Amino acid sequence: MSLRLGDTAPDFEQESTEGTIRFHEWLGDSWGILFSHPADFTPVCTTELGLTAKLKDEFAKRNIKAIALSVDPVEDHKQWIDDINDTQGCTVNFPIIADQDRKVSELYDMIHPNADATATVRSLFVIDSDKKVRLTITYPASTGRNFNEVLRAVDSLQMTDNHKVATPGNWEKGDDVVIVPTLQDEGEIQERFPKGYKAVRPYLRMTPDPTANWSGE
């Protein structure tokens, strides 16, 4: 059965390019992004892992640890990292799990037989600090992931965890957000959103991003 939003991310112990990973212990109190690759020494995966390495500072701002996976062995991963660093102008700075026995792939339903019976598809899981699955994205092997979208989605998740808002379509950090319909108490609204709001419709109330800097003037 595939994982659903809100499920606890399965724990596992598996070898990686940075030694044995005990997943929940490795995550600690961080958020995590676990993402799979069809195989080592493949072109699209090479670009994705390069992008991930270059985004280390952006992940750190959001308290995120990244970890990749493919079904090839550790030694292949290590040789592949040399290629990634050379061709993508980066330094891979996160572990790559060696899932030769498909243990993690099966736990996370990363192998889709109708797409490929042996290789993982491009699955990605955002896991919060409580070890809950908060977002899943699955692409076919031919389509590289958009990591700007992953960061955008994490920004939305982390903000909406702390404020009674939702983010509209195409939202980017700093854009106006939606006050959730369940919040009706006007006093609480004024306290939570001192910048005010615009009621486009009774159910559609827009307010400035509550995490953006504001002087109060």
pLDDT digits (tens, 9 = 90+) for 98-144: 998 999 988 998 877 665 555 566 899 999 999 999 999 998 888 99
Domain co-membership, 50 together with 133: yes
pLDDT digits (tens, 9 = 90+) for 158-181: 999 999 999 999 999 999 999 999
- Is position 194 within any domain? yes
- From residue 114, give the alpha-carbon distance in Å to each of 30, 121, 143, 146: 34, 11, 16, 24
Domain CATH code at residue 100: 3.40.30.10
- Is position 88 within any domain? yes
Domain co-membership, 101 together with 173: no
> According to the model, what pLDDT value does residue 110 have?
85
Residues 6+ apart with CB under 8 A from 130: none
Domain co-membership, 74 together with 136: yes
Which is catalytic among the residues 9, 21, 45, 119? 45
What is the pLDDT of the chain when averaged over all its residues? 91
**9 vs 110: CA distance, rounded Å:** 13
DSSP string, 87-136: HHT----S-EEE-TT-HHHHHTT---TTT-SSS--EEEEEE-TTSBEEEE
**27 vs 10: CA distance, rounded Å:** 12
Q: How many domains does the chain have?
A: 2
User: In this model, does residue 215 exceed pLDDT 50?
Assistant: no
| Catalytic residue list contains 45 | yes
Domain co-membership, 87 together with 175: no
- Is position 3 within any domain? no
| pTM, two decimal places | 0.90
**89 vs 86: CA distance, rounded Å:** 6
Domain CATH code at residue 199: 3.30.1020.10
% the chain with pLDDT above 70: 93
